[in-house]
Structure formats: C-alpha cells, structure tokens
Structure 1
C-alpha cells in the first residue's frame, strides 16, 4: 500500500518518528452484488482484479478467486512487486502497460473514479473495465463477496468459504486475527517509538500463542473445512519468516520454530490454491525495497530457503475435509503461474 502523492520518484514514508502506526482503513466501499445495490452488477468479464503478488491483502483475493474458480469471470492484473509513493505500476507487463486497462499506474483508475483521489492507491482493487474506474479497494469485503455474490460463476466443486452457519465465528476469529496478527506485524514494523513497538510485539505473539492452542487439535480455524478465516491468516504466516521476523522485528520466534502454526501453514501451502499463489522473491523485494526508511540499503535477503514449505506436516491426521463437499481447484490458468519451488 502506498501514499498517493504527485511525485513519482519519491519513496513512501512508513514510519512516523515518535508515533504509533495507525492503518488508514477508509476504502472505497462500493460492492459488486447480484442486486446491483451500488450500481455494480455481478457480470462475468466486466471487472478486473488488480492484485500484486507481494501484498498480503491482495493475496487473499487471489486465493479466493482460485479456490472458487472465478478466473473466467474476473480477470487478473498483476502489478510488479515495488512501487513509489504515487502508485503501483504494471512493470511486469510488456511496455509497462496493463494489457486490459491500458494504464501504466493503478492510480489512473482511481483518478477516473475520483480526480485527485487523496488516499493511498492500494491493492487489491477491482476496476470496471468499460469505464476504467476503480469500483472498490475494500479488501475485507471483496473476498466475502466473491464467496456469496458471485456464486453463479463458481466452478463446479467450489468450496463454501463462508458457510452461513459459521459466519459469526468466522467473523469473530477474523477480527482478532486482523487486529493482532495481519495488522499487528505492521504495527510492530512501522512503530515510531519503543513502547508502541513492544505493545504490538506482545499482542502479536500472544495472539499467535492463542492460535497455536486453537489449532493444536483441529485442522482449520473454524469448522472442519477451509474457510475465509484460514485464508486471512495464511497470507501473514506465508510472509512471516521471509519478511516480518527480521524486517518488522517480529523476532521472538520464527514461524518454523512454532510447531503447530508451522505445520498448519505448510498444510495450507501444500493445498492447491494457496502455495501456488505465493512468490517469495516478489514478496521479499517489495518489503525490503519499498520500505526504504526501514531498510535504507535496499538489500534483499537471499534466504530463507523456500523448500522447507514442501516438507511433511502430518496435519491430515487431525481429519477435516479441506474443500468440504467440493473438490480441489485445477492448476493455475496460463499466465498466472508462480515460480515452482523444487524439492531438495
């Protein structure tokens, strides 16, 4: 996520000296729904999801889209792993231009919606292709709507990621995971004073201990199948050792030193739709290059070795049905693959 300014060469500022980090959670809250309540109807081929591989919030939407089989209904645009203070850019595409939207910067879609849009130009964002306007960047709602509003375009065998009977529990778990873990690592990493950092650090590891206890005897966070709650936790765990442990000083333990959470994370990583959305090189490049006020040298770590993610986890011994009454998704569509991790 970036600060929106008019200077394309200036890096963003992420740490305010002396201040506690507070995330701006004011997003464009329009929804794409079956009843078109906000003027945006569910319509295959009309919208484009912009979701950088590096970003954990965007990663959620890519996983959900994969599991539900929405690739044919919602196209995917992939910005590069780095951005300046102005916007995410499409530097991975030929000529640095998104091939569907015809823009170099995601900022252009925000400006078509609201000229001189004053907030951060963030991913994930969904863009209306005909108008070129951003529809929403409200990442918590996007995946819920994928699960509940886009059902007409779900693949055969798509799992129920937000089962109605479990929604209250999923919401409760997701709320504390966001506060203490998903956003907690940022509150530690972007803290501008020692006390703020230590508060965030303590809350993070207390919550990870709580999650470890919860997952010791059950395979998934809520119920016996993969749900929205697991997707939301996974994208933080996938980045923990590569980024948050060192770069954000979340260093009581590595994920690999927390046996239950490490086995849980590997279980999900090895499940189709999860690990095949993860690009560790893009993840590391984003954090260590973009956050220049934390890592002024711009040096990107060589490790850790990603092959550890392929080691056995034995979580299947706890039972559970990953996709419920559904089936695993097929392999990623052409052009959406990530580099494979080769076993040692």
Structure 2
C-alpha cells in the first residue's frame, strides 16, 4: 500500500501513530458526475471501470454494473490481487485504455501533481482522458440512474431516507469497521472498532428477523453495500483482521441473507474468494509478514435459503 506525493509514487503505509493507533480512511478526491447536463454525458462505450476482484468498494460497482445490465456500456479492467511496493498492478495487456502497468499511472494521467492514495474503483472517461470519479458510493448511484439501465432503482425515492440511514450506520461500523479493527496499531483503537462492529452486526441480525432484506422485500443499495463486507467476513476478516467474536455463519439471519444475495442471478460471478484471500493475506505484510494464504475455511454459499432474489427484469 502506498500513495502519490505531488505526482510521485511512494511506498508508504498508513500513519496510525499520528492518530493514537486508529486507522482513518482518507477521503476520495475525484467526484465528477455522469449526467446529460455536465461534461460527462452518459454515453455507452465512453467510460472504463478499473477494479479489483478483492476490494469490497470496487465489488459494489461490479455488482451494480451487473444488476443494471451495463456490461456492454461500461468496459472494465482488473488489477492483480497482490498489492505490494508498486500498489495496484496490471498484468501485461490488462489495461487496454491507458496501457498502464500500475494504477498510479492512471491517476498521474488524470492529475500530474496528484497527492493521495491510489484506490479502486476508478471510473475513467476515454473522451476527456481523465478520472471521472473514484468514490464507490457515487459510482453505484450513477450506474443505478444510467439512462435505459435494467430493473428498478436500487435507491428508489420512497426508500431513500431509510437507505441513507442504513448506509450511515453500516459504513463506519461494518464496511470500514473491519479495517478499523484490522489496521489498528493500539489495543484501545482495536477494541473500540471491534465492539462497534459486532454491536452493528447484532443490530442487523435483529432487524432481519422477520423481514427479507434491510429495507423491505427486495434488495436495495443498502443490502448490496453490506453484502460486499459480509461475503469476505468469514474468509478474511475473522482471522486476518481479528474480527473473531463470531462468524457471519454464526448469525442465522445474516448468513441466510448473505447466501441469498450470493445466489441472486449473476452475483456469484462477481465474487472471487481466491483473489480476495490472496490480496488480503498476501498484500498486508505488516499484518501477515509471511504472506501465507490459508487454505480454509470451507464455506457453503449454495446451501438453501429462506430468502429469494428474483431475476432483474430486462
């Protein structure tokens, strides 16, 4: 893990010493919008998505691209799973748009003096040759509202306030909470993140008792944002990030919910547990110095569920 400083790549880990051992995620910096009125018009073939199979934030965008039927409209490149001294890296020929070998080169093309972390996802504009946006929460809403996109909105107006409130609870405690626990360098910072994480999971377990999904009978944006953390939890976060009070498999409702979303049409092909495990266990050498990737656990994601996700209407 590194960052760019005035356009120069540097292999620098997070400075938790400055925050009392707590991990603080830096804010994303590119916040362009795809809209008919602005400089980024919603044109098929114009935009390219850079993602990692391993990253939960990038996974959100892959899922939304799949659900909304945008695979032909928005092309995609995948980085390699290991993120070491050069950060996210492309295999030879994996970036047909910019010909980059390292993701920081894409950032440098967009902003020559860029200072900040080099993260996925990245939404690139072929026409203007720049980054439109690197904030997953904003990218998925642009995909959701894409003209002619398939299916109902994932954040319909009548549920927007409820979905936003769920996101506001889930993001700090769960989505980012596993990182706050895993990247903590003091006992106090770890304990705080751990307790908040499991308090939030306990609350969601109660919420899902007697209902299908977080905001009703059908999955919304809030469900998919939660899913990308839950699908990684037992394979990675329990051991690697020390989030080990219990597994998601030990929560009857959350485990059924996770499997049901995984079994939704087209979603399993967005999940690569091999890449997920390789990335976390192999890349975070401050946490796992040997880089050894565990062979387990055995996870049955195809077991029957009481929930059902219907195919998205074409």
TM-score, normalised on structure 1? 0.85
Structure 1 residues 322 and 178: alpha-carbon distance in aligned structure 2, compared to 1, 3 A threshold: farther
Q: Distance in 1 between matches of 2:274 and 2:40?
A: 35
How far off its partner does 1:96 sit?
Answer: 4.5
**Which residue in the other structure is 1:289 paired with?**
282
Q: CA deviation at 1:87?
A: 3.4
Gaps of 5+ in 1: 330-344
How far 1:97 sits from its partner (Å)?
Answer: 4.2
1:180 aligns with: 173
User: Which deviates the most, 16-25 or 53-62?
Assistant: 16-25
Q: Is the 8 A contact 1:46 1:74 kept in 2?
A: yes
Instruction: Give the distance between the partners of 1:236 and 1:145, measured in 2 at CA.
Output: 21
Give the equivalent residue in structure 1 for 2:230: 237
Q: Secondary structure of 1:224's match?
A: coil
Look up the SS of the partner of 2:116 in the other structure.
coil
Shift of 1:107: 1.5
* 1:34 match: 36
1:226 is paired with a residue whose SS is: coil
Instruction: Give the count of matched residue pairs.
Output: 310
Secondary structure at the aligned position of 1:76 is classed as: strand
TM-superposition CA deviations, 1:292-323 (whole Å, max 9, x none): 100000001111124x111112224xxxx646
- For residues 11-56 of structure 1, give each alpha carbon's deviation from its aligned partner in whole angstroms, at most 9, with x where no partner exists: x5247354211111232111111221xx211111011011110000
Unaligned runs of 5+ in 2: none
Give the alignment of 1:154-173 within 5 angstroms. 154-155=149-150, 158-173=151-166
**Residue number among 289, 312, 337 corresponding to 2:304 in the alignment:** 312
Between 1:226-235 and 1:98-107, the stretch displaced more is 98-107
Q: Secondary structure at the match of 1:202?
A: helix
The match for 1:144 among 141, 145, 150 is 141
Is the contact between residue 60 and residue 235 of structure 1 (CA under 8 Å) also seen in structure 2?
Answer: yes
DSSP-derived class of the 1:123 partner: coil
1:2 Cα deviation after fit: 4.6
2:60–2:225 CA contact under 8 A, matched in 1: yes
Please report the RMSD computed on the Cα atoms of aligned residues, expressed in angstroms: 1.8
Q: Secondary structure at the match of 2:301?
A: helix
Question: d(CA) in 2 for partners of 1:173 and 1:137?
Answer: 22
1:88-113 deviation line (CA, Å, top 9, x unaligned): 2212xxx2541233222222221112
